[in-house]
Amino acid sequence: MPHAPLILPIFLPYAGCRKRCLFCNQRTMSAETPSPLAVREQIAASIEKIDTRQKDREKQVAFYGGSFTAMERSDQISYLQEVQPFMSSNEIDSIRLSTRPDALDQKSFDFLASFGVKTVEIGAQSMDDHVLFLSDRGHTAEDTVSAVRRLMDYGFEVGVQLMIGLPGDSLELFLHALNTIIELRPHFVRIHPTLVLKGAPLESLWRTQRYSPLSLEEATQWLKVGLVKMERASIPVVRLGLQPTEELRDHVLAGPYHPAFRHLVESAIAFDMLAQLLKPCSEKEEVLLLCDQRETSNLRGQRNENIRNLKERFRLGEIRVQASEQVEVGTFLLQMPWKKVLIRRRDLVYDGYGKPQFDGN
């Protein structure tokens, strides 16, 4: 499997934004918008820091924050031009950017392609018009559908950014959004839970008890369902949760924030698999679980929480975990005195209520 590109991020907070969305405070990512000259210096500095072991990876300059294609065309040119010398010297391979679904037209496609833009991430956030209205997004779900289709028809690599837990959102609406995204077949998806950030318009709703964010447990349960659903559709989820930074931590007032959010979700999936796998075990029995070395952390859970909960649930004597090169990633093996029992992640599916089911059971 090819490596994901090495991303050199450039944050342009609020650039091109027509209005401020309910959940947004992009100052948590970057204090101010860099000038085009500062962008050139930032790219050069980032290239200098690239580990020699990663020199052969595809390298992308990524313009995040705001809505790039909603900026004045002259401003877009100013930023894109600063990347061109690095592309001419083969130090940078391509460009990616994020933007609104209603800020793209055919002229934009031709323009972006001429500057070496390869990847466009669409900030959909939700695929429900009422949720979008309550979040003051200013676009519709159909705008996202149209943008993704047209970008893919043109030949861009396309990603979709979604949020969970916005005002008016529900697990049912989230799963409906994923069904729509699966039909569009983008190249990848990012999903993160809604946080109440200091200085964001959502703060006032939260302080007056007109908005309650998801709990960490709720967000984890929603996203384990979503992650498995996207895996079964073969659409990569490249990130769960916002990139943890000191600035973000300082601004979070409420909501399901965790610096290792994906690990929580992966551990929750592992727990559901293990709960199925351990059903044949007897009380007080000592259990040996085998997995690939890369899976041991997810199997154990945060601070061994999965092991503790499974022991209590099945009243087991001991659960031992052992890494094995003979067990594939995505598979857990229960080693019993008289037989071995396997469970595979690819057989896991969740119903509309988040209840785990297994193909063939």
Helix (H) or strand (E) holding 10: strand 6-11
**Domain final residue, candidates 203, 234, 259:** 259
Same domain, 90 and 171: yes
Same domain, 230 and 281: no
> Beta 340-344 vs 331-335: how paired, if at all?
antiparallel
CATH number at residue 33: 3.20.20.70
pLDDT in tens, 226-242: 999 999 999 999 999 98
pLDDT in tens, 127-150: 999 999 999 888 999 999 999 999
CATH number at residue 343: 3.40.30
- Give rounded-to-5 percent helix, strand, coil for the chain: 40, 20, 35
Which 8-state DSSP code applies to residue 98? E
Same domain, 303 and 212: no
**Total number of domains constituting the chain:** 2
CA torsion sign, 9 to 10 to 14 to 15? negative
What pLDDT is stored for residue 360 in this prediction?
Answer: 60
pLDDT in tens, 272-307: 999 999 998 888 889 999 999 999 999 999 999 999
Same domain, 106 and 180: yes
pLDDT in tens, 79-126: 999 999 999 999 999 999 999 999 999 899 999 999 999 999 999 999
Q: Per DSSP, what are the bridge partners of residue 325?
A: none
Q: How far is it, in rounded angstroms, from Cα 274 to Cα 297?
A: 14
Q: Per DSSP, what are the bridge partners of residue 62?
A: 9, 96
Question: To the nearest whole number, what is the mean pLDDT of the chain?
Answer: 92
Same domain, 297 and 247: no
Same domain, 281 and 209: no
**Domain final residue, candidates 238, 259, 280:** 259
Same domain, 120 and 178: yes
What pLDDT is stored for residue 1 in this prediction?
Answer: 43
Same domain, 71 and 115: yes
Helix (H) or strand (E) holding 237: strand 237-240
In a domain? residue 320: yes
Same domain, 240 and 277: no
Q: What is the CA radius of gyration of the chain?
A: 22
pTM of the model: 0.92
Task: Read off the pLDDT band of 26 (50, 70, 90).
Answer: low
For residue 280, what are the domain limits?
Answer: 271-358
Same domain, 326 and 277: yes
Which 8-state DSSP code applies to residue 347? G
The predicted model gives 44-54 an average pLDDT of 89
Which 8-state DSSP code applies to residue 91? S
CA torsion sign, 234 to 161 to 250 to 48? positive
The tokens for 290 are 């085998």
Q: How far is it, in rounded angstroms, from Cα 186 to Cα 101?
A: 14
pLDDT in tens, 306-359: 999 999 999 998 999 999 999 999 999 999 877 899 999 999 999 988 899 998
pLDDT in tens, 8-25: 999 988 676 776 677 877
